Amino acid sequence: MKLSHIGIAVKNLNEASNVFSKLFNINHIPIEEVTEQKVRVGFCHVGDSSVELTEATSADSPIAKYIEKRGEGVHHLSFEVENLEEELRRLKSEGFQLIDEEPRVGAGGYLIAFIHPKSTNGVLVELSQKIG
């Protein structure tokens, strides 16, 4: 497992992209819409990992609900694995509570699945596997 990215929930992706491009001194933050999850995301590549800025595109998006409850900020940590299905089976057998029992399509050409923060000391953990 390796750290893939840190997900940050933001109210306004364009404004946040401005801030983070200055912070990391990068010119361009590619933006992608993930309709399945009702979000728009911007990826800031920093060294071997990334910061993923995530904005809700709909009031019933999980990100909108998160910001409503807890405000903007760090939303999840994402770790890349080689075989997501196998890893989900392993974690389930270890007693972790999975939000996604099956991998689903995420941003940036990855399959993703979330583990419930109840099982991981309050931290929302995402596992990802590169497609193809």
The residue among 78 and 129 lying less far from Zn ion, judged by its C-beta, is 78
Binding mask 44-83 for Zn ion (x = CB under 5 A): --------x-------------------------x-----
Tell me how far apart the alpha carbons of residues 7 and 76 are, in angstroms, rounded to a whole number.
5
Q: Does 42 bind Zn ion (CB under 5 A)?
A: no
Subset of 90-129 contacting Zn ion (CB under 5 A): 126
Q: Which of 50, 72, 55 is nearest to 6 (CA)?
A: 50
- Shortest distance in whole angstroms from residue 42 CB to Zn ion: 12
Tell me how far apart the alpha carbons of residues 8 and 24 are, in angstroms, rounded to a whole number.
15
- Shortest distance in whole angstroms from residue 66 CB to Zn ion: 13
Tell me how far apart the alpha carbons of residues 18 and 52 are, in angstroms, rounded to a whole number.
13
Q: Which amino acid is at 78?
A: S
